[in-house]
Every structure is written in structure tokens, then in C-alpha cells.
Chain A
Amino acid sequence: MFAYAARRLLTVLVTLFAASIIIFAVLQVIPGDPARLMLGINATDDAVANLREQLGLNAPVYARYFNWLADMARGDFGVSYTYSAPVRELVGERIVVSLPLAILALTLSTLVAIPVGIFTAARHGTATDTAAMAATQFGIAIPNFWFALLLVYIFAITLRWVPAGGFPGWEDGVLPGLRALILPAIALALPQAAILSRVTRSALLETMREDYIRTARAKGLPQRRVLWHHALRNALIPVLTIMGLQFAFLLAGTIIIENVFYLPGLGQLVFQAIQRLDLIVVQSVVILLVGAVITVNFFVDLAYAWADPRLRHRTQ
């Protein structure tokens, strides 16, 4: 188990390293002169030279890259050119909106999807199953930001139950914050729940065809107990895979959904940064999110090993 985890960790570090090279290359090397790009064509040569100096762009590429890595390792993400503030602070203010939103959405989606998947698999072929599966087909096809608009129209504009947007912050306690996040979380969770419940159902049905299920039935266990005790854990692997992927989508999805609800999250920060061509902020947010995706996948790998003893023993 330890060797397995250590090997996966090594892979994670290599992946992170490679991802950081890609981000650096795209945002710092390909544009030629990032300072010129940030200031625009009309900027004076003096201003560009100033910015180059300020950003340390006169150093060779590899030195800039390693400086960047070293700074990040110390928690220093640089200073935003347009906000004139440390990126770390800018990101810190926003991540307390985006991360809770993604986690809330994933929790909602899992809490709905897994029971639905199990329930429909147990009633495979019945009218309930067919109806639920038809509903999930729609769930998958609905774009989350459109669903979000719909929710805003119904609950905020028409019924006035919740605010149409904005975020009060966590200072006044958890409840007002959650109230602002609940609609966005539902909008994010619905399509993911539809996908996850389909995956859970089909993984369970697939597992129920295995030979060892027949062995369990031959022990005299009723179908339902076999489903819960034998099939469920074996069906977890594909379910975990999809959950890992979904977290990545949810993180990206929060950026879009924040737009609907005017939430001051990472999405807002990154779009403003794009408009103002603040590459430092863009690159920090991107590496943060990519790092989150990679980290989540590492935990999914660990969960695999928990679910499947064969992985625990085989390290390859």
C-alpha cells in the first residue's frame, strides 16, 4: 500500500512539473514579449522596458521558469500588474467562494446520484428504471449555466426566495454564505448527478453479471444482499473514476456559473485578468486549478487501492 501510494505521488509530482512547463511556455514563452502583450501595442518602449524590469523578464527563460517555481514553493505567486496587489491575496479572497461551491456541488451530486444509481440498478428493467434513465438523459443534456439562469428566474426573480446574485462573504456566519451558494451548487450538480447515476447503475449491472455474483447467489444470499455486499464495492472503481473527473469539471464549471450569479470567485478574477491582459494572474489561477485537478486524481488513485485489494498488492 505504501509503495503504491509513493509511486502514485511520484507520478503526481512529475505530472505537476510537466503541467507547469506547459503553462509557463504558453503564457510566458509563446507570446514573445509578455510585457509588450500586457501593455498593448501603443505602449511606449520605456513603459515596456520598465515592466520587463519589474517582472524580471530580462533573465533567461529557464531562470525565469525556475524562479517562478521557487517563488510558488514559498507561496509567492507574484504581484498582479493591474491590481497592484499580491496574486496570493487576490486568489485567497476568491478561493473561499469557488472551492466551497465546487465541494458543495460534488457533495450534492454524489448524495443524489449514488442512491439513484443503486435504486435503478436494483429495479433494472422496471418502469421506474426506464423513467429515471430518461430523466438522466435530459439531465446530461442541460447546460449548467442555462439551468442556472432558469433557477435565477424562478427562485430569485419570480419567487424572490434567494438573492439573484452576489456573495455576502463568510463574515456574517455560514448560513448567509450557503444561501448564496445553494442555487449555483444545484445548477452545477444536476448534470453531474445525471452522469454519475448512470455510471453507478451501469457499473452495478455490469458487476452483477460476473461469475462471483453467481457464487454468492449459490451461497443462498438473496439478490438484493448480493447487490449491496458483493456488487457495490466492485462497481466503485468506475464510479470513483467519474467522480474524480467530475471534480475537475466542477472546478472549471464554477468559473462559468460564478458568471451567472455574479459571485466574486476565481472565475470573475480570471475573466477580468484576461480582459486586462494580466498574465501573472491568469497563470496563477490556471496552475492552481490544474494542480487541484491533479491532486484530486491522486486521491482517486488512493481510493482505488482502498476499493480494490489487487491494486494494494500490485504496485505496477
Chain B
Amino acid sequence: MSDRDLIATEHDDLGQLFRRALRNRSFLIGLIITLVVIAVAMISFVWTPYDVTKLTIADRLKPPSAHHWFGTDHFGRDIASMIMEGARNSIAVALVAVAIGTVIGVPVGCWAAAKRGAIDEVLMRSSDVVFAFPALLSAVMITAILGPGAINAIIAIGIFNIPVFARVARGAALAIWPREFILAARASGKSQARITLEHILPNIANLLLVQGTIQFSLGILAEAGLSYVGLGAQPPNPSWGRMLSEAQTMMAVAPQMAIAPGVAIIVAVLGLNLLGDGLRDVLDPKLRRER
């Protein structure tokens, strides 16, 4: 299905939408997983099984047990507790990066679609330039001048999200502008800004929501990658990526250290992807007609 189908052709009654959503397997599973991941991150603020900053050499490299669900690392820290706090870091980075992308990218895309011509050309070529910087390269540059830190990952991923959202918003808005209800609104004398707010945005919101979910999951993956190579969160704050890089050094003696963080990333990303796919199906009027 193309993204264009997500541009609404019908009004969605919220109640119906919700009932339809609950019948969609991807959406339901994705929603549950995502809520669990978020809940775990929230709980970690008030409670974790162990203090992750406390090093207990006596307990080092313990296998999973009733006391330590996922075992302990080479400093004797409880892996389950680190996973819980790591979730916080992953979600925060990905969420803020999506916010950066949306807050800057969507207005840019809508502006380009409304103005067309030279402004559109300049905005889109600029977005091409930004698009040529994968998050990793931005992170490399930022780290080179600022030194390592969690904020670098947020900025790098956020910057990469800007052209993504700008392109999606522009493409969808361009498909809406020639529609007759926009012509009617223009004929009634409304300004481009007002039309964008009243007509364009509500009609591309579905698409942006789905894209937001996708970028959220990509953000989690990217953050893990960056902190794995040391460009993201710094000690002592636990992050899934750094846990994996520490596990790598212990691979021959304690391979179990690599299991929990990897599974945590997979679960979080899978949940968001399922949620996004489900949302797309639920919000897509074309698919609905075919059922």
C-alpha cells in the first residue's frame, strides 16, 4: 500500500477506529509491547531490583537466577536493573529525536508544498543535503567537537529525522493541495497558512503518526548503535548499546551478557514496528474497503 492511501478520504469516527484497531492483531500486539516497554522505563525511575551504580565484585558474572533474573555483569551489576534503566535512555533519545524531526520537518514540508516553485526547490534541496548525513556521521562530527555524551545521539538522530519528516509531509501535502476542497477553501479566501492548519494537517496527520512510529523504532536502533561505539550515553548511565559493547569483551567467558540487551532492543523495535504497521492498516481507508 502506498503512503498516499493514508491520506484520509473519510472521516474516522473515533469509537469505530478504536474498535477496528483492537481487531487488528499487529496493532494490538505492538501496542501491548510498546506500553510494557514504556512502563518498564517509568518504573525504573522509582524502583529497580538493584542499584546499577553499585559495583559488587563478589557477584560478578552470575548466571540468571531468582535473585538476578538476567544474571550479573563483570562488575557484578544486575543486568535486569540495567535493562530497565537502559529502556529509559533509549526511549528518551528516540522520542526527543522524533520530536526534533517533527517540529522542524513538518512545517518545512508543509511550507514547501504550499509555496511550490523556488522556495520548494530550495527547501527540498537543503533537505537532500541534510539527508546525506547518516546519523552516525553527524554523531562522529558532534563528538569530535563536543566530546562524547548522550545529547550527541539525540542531536544526530534528530537532525536526520528532519528531512525524513519534511519529505513525508511535503509529499502528502502536495497530494492534498490540488483536491477540490482546498480549491474551495482558497476560493473562499483563506490564506495558505490557515488552509494548511485547517485542512492539510488534519489530513496528513495519519501519515505523520505512522512515520513517527517508524522513526521512533529506527531511533532506538540508531541510539543502540551509537552508544555501542561510544558516541552515545556515557557511564555510569546504563544504555542497551553500551551494555552490548561491554558484553563483547566478555564474549568468550560470559556470552549470556549479550543476550538480554539484544533481546530488549529487538522487543522494543519489534513492538513499535508492529504498532506502526497496525496503525497503517487501521487508518488506511483503501484497505478497509477491500476487507
Contacts and interface: CB of A to CB of B under 8 A. Distances in A.
A and B touch in the complex (CB under 8 A): yes
Interface of A: 11, 14-15, 18-19, 22-23, 26-27, 30-31, 37, 137-138, 140-146, 149-150, 152-153, 157, 202, 205-206, 248-249, 251-253, 255-256, 259-260, 267, 270-271, 273-274, 277, 279, 282, 285-286, 289-290, 293-294, 297
B254 to A, nearest CB: 11
Contacts of A252: 134-137
Nearest to A292: B132
A96 B1 CA distance: 40
A78 B275 CA distance: 49
Given A140-B269, A140-B273, A256-B225, A23 B136 contact: no
Nearest to A140: B273
B265 A143 contact: yes
Contact of B145 (A14, A31, A260): A31
A224 to B, nearest CB: 21
A279 B258 CA distance: 33
B92 to A, nearest CB: 18
Interface in B210-251: 217, 221, 224-225, 228-230, 244-245, 247-248, 251
Report, nearest first, the 6 A-B pairs whose CB atoms are least far apart.
Answer: A252-B134, A141-B269, A146-B262, A252-B136, A141-B270, A18-B129
Contacts of A249: 134
Interface residues of B, number: 43
B280 to A, nearest CB: 10
A314 to B, nearest CB: 16
Given A146-B244, A249-B134, A282 B144 contact: yes
A109 B120 CA distance: 34
A286 B132 contact: no
Contact of A149 (B2, B225, B251): B251
Q: Chain B binding site: helix, strand, loop or mixed by DSSP?
A: helix
26 contacts: A15-B128, A18-B129, A22-B133, A26-B142, A26-B145, A30-B145, A137-B273, A141-B266, A143-B221, A143-B262, A143-B265, A144-B225, A145-B244, A146-B262, A152-B251, A157-B252, A256-B228, A259-B229, A260-B248, A271-B229, A274-B143, A277-B144, A289-B134, A289-B137, A290-B133, A293-B133
Contacts of B225: 143-145, 253, 256
A282 B273 CA distance: 34
B56 interface: no
A205 to B, nearest CB: 8
B224 A274 contact: no
B125 interface: yes
A152 B247 CA distance: 12
Contact of B258 (A30, A146, A273): A146
Contact of A137 (B141, B251, B270): B270
Nearest to A136: B273
Interface in B108-130: 125-126, 128-129
B163 to A, nearest CB: 11
A21 B143 CA distance: 18
B244 A149 contact: yes
A23 to B, nearest CB: 7
A263 to B, nearest CB: 13
A259 B217 CA distance: 23
A11 B228 CA distance: 35
B140 interface: yes
A37 B251 contact: no
Interface in B253-275: 255, 258, 261-262, 265-267, 269-270, 273-274
Contacts of B125: 11, 14-15, 18
B141 A286 contact: yes
Contacts of B251: 149, 152-153, 157
Contacts of B247: 149
Interface in B11-53: none
A313 B262 CA distance: 49
B228 A145 contact: yes
Contacts of B261: 146
Nearest to A285: B140
A149 B141 contact: no
Most buried by A among B225, B252, B267, B273: B225
